[in-house]
Amino acid sequence: MTLIRDALEAVEQQILSPHAQLSSATRGRAREERECDLRPCFQRDRDRIIHCKAFRRLKHKTQVFLSPTGDHYRTRLTHTLEASQIARTIAKGLRLNEDLTEAIALGHDLGHTPFGHAGEEVLDRIAPHGFSHTEQSLRVVDLLEREGRGLNLTYEVRDGIVKHSKGRGAVIPCDPAEQTATVEGQVARVADIIAYVNHDLDDAVRAGVIAEEDIPQGCVKIIGASHGDRIDTMVKDAVYATLAAPHNGSAIAMSPQVLDAIVRLRDFLYERVYDSEVVHGDFIKSSKILIELYERFTTDVDLFLKEIGKDELYDTVEKCVCDYVAGMTDRYALTLYERIFLPRPWLIL
């Protein structure tokens, strides 16, 4: 009997673009495993990411607005889902491997700290080895999940995760060191930016940090006046510009006008939202929480081991504490801070 996985891999060969990464041509996993009868390797990786603990924690991690109690603000989880949906639409339009694109997009932010970029900046400043959420995402899937065994993902998913972002760097990188091994990895990177530029604008208007009319009119003219229109313009542009480029689908492309509008919107977000007084005020407070937790645990290993329920460290104390702090959700960090540093009210009269 033909295995379903073999049949699905054969379908990929028939329908996908010559630039797509075929599941059957993967460079494989660090530890060899028996293949699944049903699922090709990238589909299996996608499932592993969705079932892992770090993925569930994304729901209580900040995107921009700290621990939002308003039900409609994005969290790191809904950002991830929006990025993944955009990535899949682009991948499907270009006849790329949708499972691979989706796996990268779902895994790209697994290493994000609590309190958004405040957490990342703080850990990078105080940890002796530095910190970046992209490298931490890889560390989560390679090592931290499943009690130190990791998820043992394929090379292509790991490559896409670690190269998904460079902060304010190029939307489409030219530096070969930043380029992913697959076009699917490039799609996930562009989809991440399309997702956050649009939903952060939407949330900033919701929060009253900016007004709809503040959005640069030059950008609005090019990409549209509504949230939906803007995503639609960017996604279609990525698909059509890639197909029209001289390399015809072997690398992701966008038109100069839309690319420029994305960069200008991102600059606008930094200036008016991420670095705004209201967001920056929370940034200072959350930095203080993470610094104090980090210092408390790195200077008292016994307390740290007790807290994580282990008998010994698996790396240097700084590295282990950094992993622990980076893995926290906003609410976990707040509750832990309260328990460790604040006096408990004495309730018995």
Instruction: List contacts with Mg ion (CB under 5 A).
Output: 109, 192
Distance of closest approach, residue 133 Cβ to Mg ion, in angstroms: 8
- CA triple 15-192-320, angle to 5 deg: 115
- DSSP string computed for 267-283: HHHIIIIITSHHHHHHH
Distance of closest approach, residue 192 Cβ to Mg ion, in angstroms: 4
Distance of closest approach, residue 134 Cβ to Mg ion, in angstroms: 9
Q: 192 vs 323, which CB is nearer to Mg ion?
A: 192
Q: What is the spatial distance between Cα 349 and Cα 343, in angstroms, rounded to a whole number?
A: 17
Distance of closest approach, residue 100 Cβ to Mg ion, in angstroms: 17
Q: Residue 257 burial by CB count (10 A; 0-12/13-18/19+): exposed, middle or buried?
A: middle
**328's tokens:** 């926290």
Distance of closest approach, residue 295 Cβ to Mg ion, in angstroms: 28
Per DSSP, 176 falls in state G
**160's tokens:** 């896409």
Q: 102 vs 192, which CB is nearer to Mg ion?
A: 192
Distance of closest approach, residue 294 Cβ to Mg ion, in angstroms: 23
Q: Are the C-beta atoms of residues 184 and 88 closer than 8 Å to each other?
A: no
Q: 96 vs 191, which CB is nearer to Mg ion?
A: 191
Q: 86 vs 219, which CB is nearer to Mg ion?
A: 86
Distance of closest approach, residue 185 Cβ to Mg ion, in angstroms: 14
Residue type, 160: G
**CB count in 10 Å sphere of residue 265:** 22
Q: Which residues contact 226 (CB under 8 A, 6 or more apart)?
A: none
Residue type, 71: D
Q: 26 vs 136, which CB is nearer to Mg ion?
A: 136
Q: 159 vs 192, which CB is nearer to Mg ion?
A: 192
Q: Are the C-beta atoms of residues 250 and 202 closer than 8 Å to each other?
A: no
Q: Residue 284 burial by CB count (10 A; 0-12/13-18/19+): exposed, middle or buried?
A: exposed
Q: 120 vs 192, which CB is nearer to Mg ion?
A: 192
Q: What is the spatial distance between Cα 279 and Cα 273, in angstroms, rounded to a whole number?
A: 7
Distance of closest approach, residue 276 Cβ to Mg ion, in angstroms: 20
Q: 109 vs 159, which CB is nearer to Mg ion?
A: 109
Q: Which residues contact 337 (CB under 8 A, 6 or more apart)?
A: 289, 292, 293
Its sign, for the CA torsion 299, 302, 305, 310, is positive
